[in-house]
Structure 1
Amino acid sequence: MLVNLLSSRTKAYLFRRSCLKASLIIAGSVIQGFGMGVFLFPHAIPPGGAGGLALLLNHWFSFPMSIGFWLMNFLFLLTAIPFLGTVSTVGTIGVITTTSVSVNIFGVYFNSPLGNVWFDLLAGSVLLGIGIAVLLTQRFSNGGIGFAALALSRQKHFDPGKTLFWMNGAIFILTACVIDWMIIIQALLCQWISTSIVSWLYSTSFPARPLYAWRGKRDR
């Protein structure tokens, strides 16, 4: 009977932890979706490489931002699936899906109360950073381009940080050439503010630990 009682308590504890984890993942996805949908995307400010490509799809083909954002992230994620564990793959798909739905809902039904591109840039970047930090605490990425950069760096033995920088940089330049050159400055500011928020919130509260289940050849 004692064993059954302990087992029941363990199951209840694991269930509560799973619910809390799922709630935080959803919260992080919604927060960053709110920042992008209300403050960044209306000014054509890309929060990252996938966001920049989503802006281009919207500019060229009037493709909805939410669908373009989901599609670009998913395509980037496909390049890294062979190296990811099941939990990381499914979790990241869930994150980009929740974020894309949030972008669509907030973008349609909410308008920025600030009305200034630079204030909106600040607000959107802060919210983006908060959302990413929440996701990182649960060991999930906020999109697929980071995984694509890691997969490329693993195959070609490049530095992953530099790989991600050049991938995002190339997309920002292309977006600026097509839409507006000011986008480069705004995108870099967005990156700097959001990553500063992430570093402050995450590194001061949580020790360094792996973000996802990255599998090597020996693991498969």
Structure 2
Amino acid sequence: MNDPFLPVECLGIVAFAVSGALLAIRKGMDLFGVNVLGLFTAVGGGLLRDLMLGITPPQMLRDPTFALIAIATSTVLFALLYFYRRDPSPKAKALYRQFLLYTDAVGLGIFTASGVETAMRAYPEGSPFLMLFVALMTGTGGGILRDIMAGETPGVLVRHIYAMAALSGACVYLLLYGALTGVEATLVCAAVVVAIRGLASHFRWNFPSIRPPKPPEGQQPL
């Protein structure tokens, strides 16, 4: 990334590290587990992006700055919650869910834009499908790894228009490319993603799904 983009990408690293660390803490993981989940959430999407584009070794292995930021963020968050433990009130639980939603959305938006820009620099003549697919995997890859490692169904498959928010942000970035600076386009992309995720959560927008009927009492589910 260009230097002007660095602070924005650092913000995305912190946001994703917080979302990963919070989930690890909710799952009762120790300090090591919290750091691992925070790290992979923060850098997992960029790792997948670089591997798909043939950028080897991946950026996170050539420059550990982002990995160190993710670990530091996870450690600080763990320490704060470790020394300030008490039974959360319903209001605190609701605030936690909102905080997790929006930190994840900020990271999703920033890394979606990062995926588009990196793909455009690596393959300037690449198709829009390439740009959008790389953007989607960059934005959602860290969250997918986080959820799998935490023993949950990846949110991208079930949660409030998650992938479509990333794709919408990527389309906005492509439309603004050249008209705005990379940083400005990234911030607009992130704002679009956060807005869509927030609205989807508030209004409970989801794609249709088929839920199997509950089995009769005493019968094992299929």
Q: Which of the five TM-score ranges fits, normalised by the shorter chain?
A: 0.3 to 0.5
Higher RCO structure (Cα 8 Å, ≥6 apart) = 1
Q: TM-score, normalised by structure 1?
A: 0.42
